[in-house]
Structure 1
Amino acid sequence: MLKGISPLLNADVLYALRAMGHGDTLVVTDTNFPSDSIARVTPFGHLLRIDNVDAAAAVDAILSVLPVEAVARMEVIGAPDEIPPVQEEVAAVIARHEPTAEAMAGIERFAFYDAAKEAYAVLTTGERRFYGCFILRKGVVPPDA
């Protein structure tokens, strides 16, 4: 246990978040996403996990240490403008941590899979609601004033 760091952030997750550079992306997924097979083709090469919590709790922990400049969400099939509750919850977490981040863009399901394969790493959560899948683009930590 480390002081000031969420206990949800295990050593593998912290390592990956620290290793990411500006513009690298992290895919945060629900339990239905093909996370393991997609994670294998990313530069990080293996699946990261924050089990037993929903997407909002996982993203809250991640954003406690990771600067994010943009977020994308998986669109609902047949209703691309619909924002399910899981996405509303994650959007609220993002707004609290990163109020200047770009608005959450929608990505069609299969295009999301393709984008996930280009990410630095994939992290799966315990989220069981559909469409709990997001792509976070790492921002920068500014110099001290």
Structure 2
Amino acid sequence: MLNNIPKILSPDLVHVLMDMGHGEEIVIADANFPGAEFNDHVLRADGHGIPEILEAILELMPLDPYNDWQFALMNTLGDDPTPEIWPTYRKIIENAEPEHHTEGHFDRFDFYDQARKARAVLITGETALYGNIILKKGVVL
């Protein structure tokens, strides 16, 4: 055990976050995301929603202010409505990174391509549609 590490973060996830370098990405995926299809390094956080995981990760990991986007979402398809969970993500990120929180968007298959390049995919118990989010790691000072 260590002090000041949010208890919701598993040792394996903390190890991945520690191991990531500047500019690397992690996908925090909803329960429906086919993570193993797109990345060999899949972690699980079943039973937890993305907002609580996102908040905990951002306590430890800064986002990359030098990139065009610091977090990215998957575009909706067709007439699907804008996901209700997105404003929650934006608020969490804005609270953690008040100056650097530009949002990127990827179409479904481009999002999958990003997942292939990510350091890891964390599958959560999140059931919100289009709940997936990619974080780009910044420099720890």
Relative to the length of structure 1, the TM-score reads 0.87
Deviations 1:113-141 (A, max 9, x none): 01110111111111011101011000012
Gaps of 5+ in 1: 41-45
**C-alpha contact 2:30 2:50 (8 A) present in aligned 1:** yes
- The Cα shift of 1:36 comes to 2.0
In structure 2, do the counterparts of structure 1 residues 140 and 87 end up closer, same or farther at CA, with 3 Å as the change threshold?
A: same
In structure 2, do the counterparts of structure 1 residues 58 and 49 end up closer, same or farther at CA, with 3 Å as the change threshold?
A: same
Q: Give the secondary structure class of the aligned counterpart of 1:21.
A: coil
**C-alpha contact 2:93 2:101 (8 A) present in aligned 1:** no
| Residue 99 of structure 2 is aligned to residue 104 of structure 1 | no
Q: Give the secondary structure class of the aligned counterpart of 1:88.
A: helix
% identity of equivalent residues = 38
* CA distance in structure 1 between the aligned counterparts of 2:79 and 2:51, rounded to whole angstroms: 22
Root mean square deviation of aligned Cα: 1.5
**C-alpha contact 2:49 2:124 (8 A) present in aligned 1:** yes
Tell me which residue corresponds to 1:65. Answer: 60
Relative to the length of structure 2, the TM-score reads 0.89
* CA distance in structure 1 between the aligned counterparts of 2:120 and 2:18, rounded to whole angstroms: 12
- The Cα shift of 1:52 comes to 1.1
- The Cα shift of 1:104 comes to 1.2
- The Cα shift of 1:64 comes to 0.9
Tell me which residue corresponds to 2:12. Answer: 12
- The Cα shift of 1:3 comes to 2.3
Deviations 1:11-38 (A, max 9, x none): 1000000000000000110011101222
Tell me which residue corresponds to 2:131. Answer: 132
- The Cα shift of 1:79 comes to 5.4
Q: Which amino acid in the other structure matches residue 61 of structure 2?
A: L
After the TM superposition, which residues 1-145 of structure 1 pair with which residues of structure 2 at under 5 Å, given as runs? Answer: 1-40=1-40, 46-69=41-64, 70-78=70-78, 83-142=82-141
- Count how many residue pairs are aligned between Structure 1 and Structure 2: 136
Deviations 1:83-117 (A, max 9, x none): 41111111111111112224211111111001110
In structure 2, do the counterparts of structure 1 residues 96 and 102 end up closer, same or farther at CA, with 3 Å as the change threshold?
A: closer
Deviations 1:51-99 (A, max 9, x none): 212111110111110111200001111259x641111111111111112
Question: Structure 1 runs of 4+ off > 2 angstroms?
Answer: none
